[in-house]
Amino acid sequence: MAEHIDSSGKQIHTPVMLERSIELLAPALEKPGAVLVDATLGMAGHSEAFLDRFPGLTLVGLDRDTDALAIAGERLARFGDRVNLVHTVYDRFDEALDGLGVDEVSGILFDLGVSSLQLDRVERGFSYSKDAPLDMRMDATSPLTAEVILAEYSENELRRIFWEYGEERLAQRYAKKIVEARQVEPLTSSAQLVAILTAATPVAIQRNGHPAKRVFQALRIEVNQELAVLQRAIPAAIDRLEIGGRIVVLAYQSLEDRIVKRALVAASSSTAPAGLPIELPEHRPELTLLVRGAELATDDERAKNPRATPVRLRAAERTRRAG
């Protein structure tokens, strides 16, 4: 992952598609009193750039990760009362804004998936390449961990999440082997899980990629309820956009991108019944899409910042208030 060094000597990861995100959100953020919600604050790389670029901007930063909030708080301290940070999951969008007395917002940014901070801290257990406890919580105050799932879920439940959230073709085989293994000893480390999955994977399939990749993705999504949260969050976010407000979403895997696409396409489509000769005002779309389909990072950015390789960007502008 691409990095630069900040003034304190710490390594800071390069935000994905930063300039493109700024370009798309700029028309909504240039006016006085604009409010931007960074719904996935992380280490605040995107947010810091927006606050620097738009001197009149106020930020609302949301994150479920208390470690990330602490780092972001230090990084953004120089902006003073222009910054409001909230420890919350982003589907509690309305609650966070209501708590700050904010009605409508000018811009919204979602940078989905696991953060660089979470990947780099081995003890969090997100990476299959390093041995660590089977944790995978984005919010360390949450009770559900990957270890609990592997110990308590039935074989059918494990198979379901590996298939639905990891799109893993060997879901049934992996679920069976995990249940067999946990009857011998508790599964507490990522190395144990990787060994089980590797042993259960035909050598020919292993040549196509690490056998643990999709299972770890599925466990992470289940631990953090990422897809269910996202399904609730995008419509809630759209509802809080002012007229002329804009939303940008960066997704890193197909399941996330599918949810985002459905929500934005639905809100940018007419609701007029088929055959109606005239589209009434109440049937007009609420959003206008700003990019055609999903936009990819440039070849140059992917070369400089490998984390940008799978990203899919979607963006829209609010053109009408529902109802």
Residue 278's pLDDT is what? 66
What DSSP assignment string belongs to 128-183? TTS--BS---SSTT-S--HHHHHHHS-HHHHHHHHHHHH--TTHHHHHHHHHHHHT
Sequence ranges of the binding site: 44-46, 63, 90, 111, 118
> Is residue 7 over pLDDT 90?
no
Q: Where are the alpha helices (DSSP H) in 56-140?
A: 66-75, 93-100, 116-120
Question: Using one digit for the tens of pLDDT, what is the confidence trace for 26-57?
Answer: 999 999 999 999 999 999 999 999 999 999 99
What average pLDDT does range 123-149 have in this prediction? Answer: 84
What's residue 272's pLDDT? 58
**Cβ neighbourhood burial of 109 (10 Å; 0-12, 13-18, 19+):** buried
Query: What is the pLDDT at residue 14?
Result: 80
pLDDT at 9 over 60: no
Give the pLDDT mean for 275-286.
67
This prediction has a pTM of 0.86
**What would the mean pLDDT of 289-299 be, rounded to a whole number?**
95
Binding-site annotation, residues for S-adenosyl-L-methionine = 44-46, 63, 90, 111, 118
Q: How would residue 281 be classed by pLDDT, with cut points 50, 70 and 90?
A: low
Q: Assess whether pLDDT exceeds 70 at residue 303.
A: yes
Residue closest to 151 by CA, chosen among 192, 182, 197: 182
Tokens coding 216: 């770890």
Q: Is the dihedral of CA 116, 166, 138, 135 positive or negative?
A: negative
Q: Is the pLDDT of residue 261 over 70?
A: yes
For the chain, domains (ranges, CATH) are 3-117+226-318 (3.40.50.150), 123-224 (1.10.150.170)
pLDDT value of position 2: 31
**Two structure tokens written together for 89:** 């999951």
pLDDT in tens, 154-185: 999 999 999 999 999 999 999 999 999 999 99
Average predicted confidence (pLDDT) for the chain: 88
Q: Other CB atoms closer than 10 Å to residue 280's CB: what's the count?
A: 11
Cα gap 74→287, rounded to integer Å: 36
Q: Are the C-beta atoms of 222 and 165 separated by less than 8 Å?
A: yes
Please say if the pLDDT value at position 5 is more than 90: no
* Predicted confidence (pLDDT) per residue in 59-75, tens digit: 999 999 888 899 999 99
Q: How confident is the model at residue 3 (pLDDT cuts 50, 70, 90)?
A: very low
Beta bridge partners of 289: 316
Identity of the residue numbered 171: A
Answer for the pair 184, 207: CB distance below 8 angstroms, yes or no: no
pLDDT tens-digit readout, 197-210: 999 998 888 777 88
